[in-house]
Amino acid sequence: MFYFDPMYLIFALPALILGLWAQARVRSAFGQYSRVRSASGITGAQAARRILDLNGLSNVPIERVGGTLSDHYDPRSKTLRLSSAVYETPSLAAVGVAAHEAGHALQDQQHYAPLRLRSVMVPAVQIGSWLGPIIFFIGFLMSGTLGDSLAWLGVILFGATAAFALVTLPVEFDASRRAKQLLVSQGIVAQQEMVGVNKVLDAAALTYVAAALQALSTMLYYIYLLTGRRD
């Protein structure tokens, strides 16, 4: 019979609370500064285009995608994709997010090691994120050496998810650092406007911290269950 383990809350609750708070901060900051027009008056797409072109990436296309805050750079197709609210809006939030994604394109151009490592890890994460927990609980419910071996295999597979989340942190922090520098140096945002951009990008960065903490806490909970059973 399955039951809820209160110990799971001890491991998971801090990350859950941080994640909810981070998401609320992102929505609040993006909503607030989406209504603040940048002095330059250029849209997110125009800001990204300027950054890319001035850094020798005129071959990188910019596409509009659906969804909210679905903005991303795809290193496989060398394509930058912006949500409608970012693509067509001349706001501080829009140019901040667009510059952040352009920062990923610059990382790719310069063979930034953490970005390359993250790209290599994607297949393992896609498998481990769903298969790892399944194998873990199958092994955990079994007895003997075989059950322990399967459970530890599940932990290792899920560990790829935690490793991916950790590698993502320097990738995202560096993209935001690049964005903040480029927005000012290339005349897209005035220095006094950076308060709004900083709030949007810093709030977004916190969501990646929460995701890493959540993955790590889940893996530690699995390890706690296994070592507790052994004891």
Active-site position among 63, 88, 101, 193: 101
Q: What is the distance between the alpha carbons of residues 35 and 201, in angstroms, rounded to a whole number? A: 16
- As given in the structure block, the two tokens for residue 99 are 């510059």
Among residues 136, 140, 141, which one has the least CA distance to residue 161? 136
Q: Tell me the three-class secondary structure of the chain, residue by residue.
A: CCCCCCHHHHHHHHHHHHHHHHHHHHHHHHHHHCCCECCCCCCHHHHHHHHHHHCCCCCCCEEEECCCCCCEEECCCCEEEEEHHHHCCCEHHHHHHHHHHHHHHHHHHCCCHHHHHHHHHHHHHHHHHHHHHHHHHHHHHCCHHHHHHHHHHHHHHHHHHHHHHHHHHHHHHHHHHHHHHHHHHCCCCCHHHHHHHHHHHHHHHHHHHHHHHHHHHHHHHHHHHHHHHHC
**Is 101 part of the annotated catalytic residue set?**
yes
Among residues 37, 38, 63, 68, which one has the least CA distance to residue 48? 63
Residues classed as catalytic: 101
